């Protein structure tokens, strides 16, 4: 399953607090589509299923469905706040090809 860097966990926690949604989890999913075949999806979710995989990083619950989990083995969610490439990025060593958009892979 995906891991989350400390910096990413801190940012997610800040976003949850700003939304007043500290009881929600960050859902990371892989969906068919995008330029290269699959695309990443992230959103706050209060509906955690019994078959979802759940881990906690820095006080942030991360939820991944079983199908997505298989495509995220060894992946990590990172956060950068620099002048260029600021934001969240998934580093997935299992991806054989990625797209220039940064959110699509195969």
Instruction: Tell me the pLDDT tens digit for each residue of 39-80.
Output: 889 999 999 999 999 999 999 999 999 999 999 999 999 999
pLDDT at position 35? 62
pLDDT at position 106? 47
Q: Cα torsion for 91, 96, 97, 98, to the nearest 10°?
A: -10
Domain ranges of the chain: 3-94
pLDDT at position 83? 82
- CATH 2.40.50.140 is right for the domain spanning 3-94: no
Q: Using the structure block, give the residue that is written with the tokens 């998934």.
A: 90
pLDDT at position 92? 87
The whole-number average pLDDT for the span 1-22 is 95
CA neighbor of 15 nearest in space, from 59, 72, 52: 59
CA neighbor of 105 nearest in space, from 87, 90, 88: 90
Q: How far apart are CA 18 and CA 37, in angstroms?
A: 33
């Amino acid at each position: 399953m995906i891991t989350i860097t400390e910096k990413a966990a801190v940012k997610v926690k800040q976003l949850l607090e700003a939304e007043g949604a500290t009881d929600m989890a960050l859902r990371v999913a892989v969906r068919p589509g995008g330029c290269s075949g699959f695309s990443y999806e992230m959103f706050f979710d209060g509906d955690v299923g019994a078959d979802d995989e759940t881990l906690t990083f820095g006080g942030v619950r991360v939820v991944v469905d079983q199908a997505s989990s298989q495509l995220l083995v060894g992946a990590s969610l990172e956060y950068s706040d620099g002048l260029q490439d600021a934001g969240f990025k998934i580093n997935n060593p299992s991806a054989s090809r990625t797209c220039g958009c940064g959110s699509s892979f195969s």
